[in-house]
Amino acid sequence: MMKYALMLAVATATVGTPQLAWADDAAPMATSRDSTVPVITDDMALFESFGGRAGLVKIMDDVMPRWLANAKTRPFFENADQTRIKAQLVEQFCVIMKGPCEYSGRSMADAHRGMNVSEASFYALVEELQRTLNAMDVQFRAQNRLIAALAPMHRDIIDK
């Protein structure tokens, strides 16, 4: 299951706009405020399926130790302000899912400039996020919607 979602992330990253087959009539409407925070839904149902803001905080609290334990992602987090990163990711994910939030961080390009993030590190980060989402019992369809929104950010993050 994790490999399928990761393949989705790879496919959307290389093709551009995510193309997904949805169980209901149509894919979610995607509108973009900027390249860092694409809104992927018109209502708060997806946000609520992640447990709202409290659920996103719980997800970040679980995934940060995973990123620190993973040799491919550790260098980007071990000497960083982890509390700030988690808070900004909560904001970013919340906005992407049309939650009642505002993103206060920098663009992904500005935040990652000069960090030498490789494709392998980027995909390791996504894989650890998926492990957390699975552990938190986030529905697979909801995971895919979020990952499809995040995948195009690779263009602003990977620079090695």
Tokens in use for 100? 């009642």
Q: Quick check: pTM over 0.75?
A: no
Confidence band (pLDDT; 50, 70, 90) for 27?
very low
- Determine contact, residues 27/89, Cβ cutoff 8 Å: no
- The pLDDT of 18-24, averaged and rounded, is 30
Compute the distance between CA of residue 107 and CA of residue 35 in angstroms, rounded to an integer: 7
For residue 158, give the 3-state DSSP assignment. Answer: strand
Best CA proximity match to 40, nearest among 88, 106, 93, 4: 93
CATH 1.10.490.10 applies to domain 2-8+36-157: yes
Handedness of CA 62, 64, 69, 70 (dihedral sign): positive
Q: Rounded to whole angstroms, how far apart are CA atoms 56 and 95?
A: 11
pLDDT in tens, 129-142: 999 999 999 999 99
DSSP β-bridge partners for residue 32: 38
Q: What is the mean pLDDT of the chain?
A: 78
| Tokens encoding 8 | 């989705």
Does 150 or 43 have the greater pLDDT score? 150
